Amino acid sequence: MAGRVLKNEIKYKITLDDDQKKVKESIFNNQIVVITGFAGSGKSLVAAQTALDLLFKKEVKKIYVTRANVVTGRDMGYLPGDITDKLNPYLEAFKENLYACYDKDKVDKHIQSKEIDGTPLAYIRGKTIQDILVVEEAQNLTKHEMLAILTRLGKNGRIIINGDVNQSDIKDSHTGLHYAIELSKRIEGIEYFKLKNNHRSDLVGKILDYEYSGNNLKDTNQNEDN
């Protein structure tokens, strides 16, 4: 996809930071973009705003959202109700980011018209993605599942892959997210970004610093010695 200058005529409720703006521009200019970062780094937010931008500017006709059928270490299993009820857990978290970006009632109209649609992984395998697909929580996908998703990409489609390599709830050490990052380093046209800014409470940043700096291991060892 040729590079282009982004227009700013659409007014959103939230302003992206400089790193997020670079990601947004890359999504406009590439078919596959991988975004990682700790919780609160704004991965889903930039994906939501960019997907809306593409929809409103008629670059795409539809936004698909999918995610692994695993949440916080547990398989979601059987979900009661009709297909709309079953898709709610897949779309719910992403909807909050859409609402953060734009008017809730207008977003809901696009959801009701299926222009924004939650889609189970099994359904993706039967599609050719000619619009835009947002893959949430990609650290919970296997390499096989990620390959199945990426190979559905059509000539004019786009895929955004979001995830945090530190929060995987599956047993595989080399997840689908790891695989997508690996591909970005080997194949031109697949772009990879790691967002570092924390957009939640400062306490979130402190908790994550504690968790991943190794300090928690020191505390554990000290407790064991006492």
**pLDDT tens, residue order, the chain (226 aa):** 655 545 556 899 999 999 999 999 999 999 999 999 987 889 999 999 999 999 999 999 999 999 887 543 334 444 444 445 445 666 888 999 999 999 999 999 999 999 999 988 888 888 899 999 999 999 999 999 999 999 999 999 999 999 998 888 777 789 999 999 999 999 999 999 999 877 556 676 677 677 666 555 455 444 444 4
Identify which of 6, 23, 15 has the alpha carbon closest to the alpha carbon of residue 196: 23
The reported pLDDT for the residue numbered 40 is 82
Instruction: Please give the Cα distance from 118 to 134 (Å, whole number).
Output: 10
The reported pLDDT for the residue numbered 68 is 80
pTM listed for this prediction = 0.81
The reported pLDDT for the residue numbered 203 is 79
CA distances from 58 to 5, 46, 63, 115, 132 (A): 16, 18, 11, 11, 12
Identify which of 41, 71, 74, 46 has the alpha carbon closest to the alpha carbon of residue 212: 41
- Taking only Cα atoms into account, the Rg of the chain, rounded to an integer number of angstroms, comes to 18
Identify which of 147, 155, 158 has the alpha carbon closest to the alpha carbon of residue 33: 158
Instruction: Please give the Cα distance from 126 to 224 (Å, whole number).
Output: 52
The reported pLDDT for the residue numbered 204 is 67
Cβ proximity of 175 and 140 under 8 Å: yes
Q: Compute the CA torsion angle 200, 204, 205, 210 (nearest 10 deg).
A: -170
Structure tokens belonging to residue 54: 């593409």
